[in-house]
Amino acid sequence: MRHSTPVLTLADVIAARSRLNGFVVRTPLAPSSALSTLAGGEVRLKLENLQVTGSFKARGALNRLVTLSDDDKKRGVIAASAGNHAQGVAAHATRLGIKSVIVMPVSTPLIKVSRTQNYGAEVVLYGENYDDAFAKATELAAQHGYVYVHAYDDDHVMAGQGTIGLEILEDFADVDDVVVPVGGGGLIAGIGVAIKAQRPQVRLIGVEPSVLPSMTRALAAGQPVQLPAARTLAEGIAVRLVGQKNVDVCKLVVDDIVTVEDDQIARAILFLLESEKTVAEGAGAAAVAALLAGRLQTKGRKVALLVCGGNIDVGVLSRIIERGLVESGRLTRLEVLVPDRPGALAEALTEVARTRANVIEVHHERAFLSGSLGQVRVDLVVETRGPEHVRDLIEALRARGFEPSFDPRDAKSSTTRMDGSTPGG
């Protein structure tokens, strides 16, 4: 671990906290018994999804805005963002009486667009990704004289995000590991400066989506490297090119970076919803995904995981819940062959009810069924308590003379990890 003096300093972060005092939430660092058991250590969640605007971005945005000169405030500000930085800039700019324009990719979740508008910003939808939006925002800044507020490659923004690190050390003084989602790098850089300056032995671990390991590549190259565009559930950290200032700081404070897949992020979102009763967006769940996927060495360690945002589209959340129910065996699709006679379907459904499974959908197929003319196929979607309940249901139907079948991939053990790995390994 290198101990050179970073560009950003602890004094910058402390100064930022004095500016933010009273205008951002000191979010809880909540113990998680479920994650602690899985990890074999002590795990706490830094719940920045409870922050103003639902994301940590409010901290850096405010610190940048309040340090603008009076002339710059009169010019107005512009930013490019996939949503969370947009809301932070919009909310605080409106409160400070500053005009704000936000350029967002056309694929930005509707909830983030509408909230940004509700905070008082003028929203421009442009391009397929952050890079397109950034190019448009810099063009508009030059045309209209707006001050550009960068989402991460800015000292004041990094210092604002770093206030999270101060809070973690105050609330969890003997923490061993701090795990942070990484997009452009401003969050982990700021937190790293705040923590390493006070407790250099704490491990700082970043988490990136596997399709866009931008900071990993940058640190390996010693400078930002632009990656090809890619789609990910964690759109809040889907950054193709990290900031140069962020790389300079991360070289000094980051101990390791791991990557996670989209399906692991989806499971983490569902885990947080069910076990922790908290809503996280894809980027916000990345650190938890790393733990659940066995990417972290946590046994016997004290770990703080940052849940950095909770602005998830309701439609996406609904699909994640349904997919998670299927993977855990609590939502199952069965094909049942029943005799083609009056009352046979009712008998099959009665047997399903007797096992206490709940029928969600029924489709009765006769015309397109190959095989015996004396049978019809009934496609059922049922809610169950899990894989063992599914097996009991199939055995009960067979005992009554029906022929059920299902794709075993539709039900996996709820006690076995989907990716076959072991947490805390």
Q: Across the 425 residues of the chain, what is the mean pLDDT of every consecutive 10-residue run?
A: 64 98 96 97 98 96 97 97 92 97 89 91 92 93 97 96 98 98 97 98 98 97 94 90 95 98 95 96 97 97 97 90 86 89 90 92 73 79 92 92 73 36 38
Max intra-chain CA distance, the chain: 84
Q: How many CB atoms lie within 10 A of CB 99?
A: 17
Rounded Cα distance between 110 and 125, Å, is 11
Reading phi first (left if > 0) and then psi (alpha if -120 to 50, else beta), residue 21 is in beta
Q: Of 165, 230, 122, whose CA–CA distance to 8 is shortest? A: 165
Domains of the chain by range and CATH? 20-45+165-308 (3.40.50.1100), 330-410 (3.30.70.260)
Calculate the alpha carbon distances from 170 to 1, 29, 137, 174, 207 in Å: 23, 10, 38, 9, 23
Burial 206-223 (b: 16+ CB within 10 A, else e): bbbbebbbbbbbbbeeee
- Strands in 358-365's sheet, in edge-to-edge order, are 358-365, 375-383, 331-339, 403-405
pLDDT for res 306? 98
pLDDT for res 6? 54
- Quick check: 209 and 237 in contact, CB under 8 A? yes
Exposed, middle or buried: residue 386 (CB in 10 Å: 0-12, 13-18, 19+)?
middle
What are φ and ψ of residue 137, in 5° steps? Answer: -65, -40
pLDDT for res 367? 61
Rounded Cα distance between 144 and 123, Å, is 15
Q: Which helix (H) or strand (E) element contains residue 372? A: none
* Chain centroid, CA 46 distance in Å: 13
Calculate the alpha carbon distances from 84 to 89, 236, 240 in Å: 9, 7, 17
Measured over the CA atoms of residue 136, residue 138, residue 144 and residue 149, the dihedral's sign is positive
pLDDT for res 313? 86
pTM surpassing 0.75? yes
